[in-house]
Chains A and B, each alone.
Chain A
């Protein structure tokens, strides 16, 4: 079995390149190509009527959460003072990431099927 710290590093490295494209692309579309004031519900309606953008957004969400989850897991592992605190924080992190993935996936599913 791979050591958990190494696994976390591998997850971060594996997702880094994809995120560079997905996140900078997302920011460019919502703030530079379009002005942010014009990205209201009519913009979202147009964007999410395309399967490609739904796939982009879900991939970005899942990849970002994997990357951030691994990064913060390491951060807690290194900076939490005691084993008990560390376990609690790790559990809190897992719950947070799980909730964000569930909420984001549900939102995309509901809006995509509407």
Chain B
């Protein structure tokens, strides 16, 4: 492994750890700030999603995936910018993108992007059109379903070269 590849791996791992920490932080705030739920340890409250809370979980997931995609973007700008410095150095780091581990990461990234995009389009729609809570929830389920189906199909394509 070259020094540049090592740097890429270290930064990516650090960003991933940061994203996990942020997600826990946001989930905790969402759970402990919830006035409708009985007191208890925050982990015990997670399963008790009421009607209103479904939208709240969508909000938390939207934030977490947004931060995750931005974290990757911050790294990606630099690894692509390497091309302007030297195409050979760019290729050195880019080789990592084809490895099995990175392909799994790319699938996870895609799921995050898909959810954030589809739920985001739902939020834009809700801003423009006045709909009932049940409709908003239905749209959320549509967004989740489309994320799962298209994400899984694309993951098969992404992982195929290393599944032989």
Binding site for B on A (CB under 8 A): 13, 16-17, 19-20, 23-24, 27, 31-32, 35-37, 39-41, 44-45, 61, 64-65, 68, 71-72, 75, 79, 96, 100, 103-104, 106-108, 110-111, 114
Contacts and interface: CB of A to CB of B under 8 A. Distances in A.
B98 A37 contact: yes
Chain B interface mostly: helix
Given A41-B83, A107-B83, A111-B83, A36 B103 contact: yes
A106 B161 CA distance: 34
A104 B161 CA distance: 30
A68 B73 contact: yes
A68 B106 contact: no
Secondary structure of the A side of the interface? Answer: helix
A110 B82 CA distance: 11
Contacts, number: 95
A29 to B, nearest CB: 13
Contact of B94 (A19, A39, A106): A39
Contact of A36 (B25, B83, B91, B106): B106
A41 B113 CA distance: 25
Interface of B: 25-26, 29, 63, 66-67, 69-70, 73-74, 77-78, 80-81, 83-84, 87-88, 90-91, 94-95, 97-98, 102-103, 106, 110, 113-114, 117, 120-121, 123-124, 127, 154, 157-158, 161
Contact of A13 (B78, B127, B154): B127
A79 to B, nearest CB: 7
B83 A32 contact: no
A23 B102 CA distance: 19
A79 B73 CA distance: 22
B70 A41 contact: no
Contact of A35 (B102, B117, B161): B161
A40 B90 contact: yes
A39 B83 CA distance: 12
